Amino acid sequence: LEVVPDYPMAYFSIGNAYRKKFGSSKNLQDLKEAETNLLKARELAPQNPQFALELGIMYSQQLAVSDKDNEDRYQKEAVKHWK
């Protein structure tokens, strides 16, 4: 990212790494880091369907389940990215 700060695949990869880390850590902060990086990837390449799909999956299958206080918001975010 230091060399090419606007490289969406780098943000996507970092986001997925945090999602995988969450699988073993169960630390909600890992999902928040994943969200930040996946959103940046989507911002840089909004036409990439893979980025939208991964965001939707993360919102509906991980964040909504792990953060019950915000479940409705995450489900709405998932739908937004799948449209």
pLDDT digits (tens, 9 = 90+) for 29-77: 999 999 999 999 999 999 999 999 999 888 888 888 888 888 888 888 8
State pTM to two decimals. 0.86
Q: What angle do CA 46, 5, 39 make, to 5 degrees?
A: 35
- More reliable by pLDDT, 52 or 78: 52
Specify the pLDDT at position 78. Answer: 83
Yes or no: say if 38 and 12 are a contact pair by the CB < 8 Å rule. yes
Dist. CA 52–CA 60, nearest whole Å: 12
The one-character DSSP state at 4 is: -
- Nearest in space to 44 (alpha carbons), one of 9, 70, 68: 9
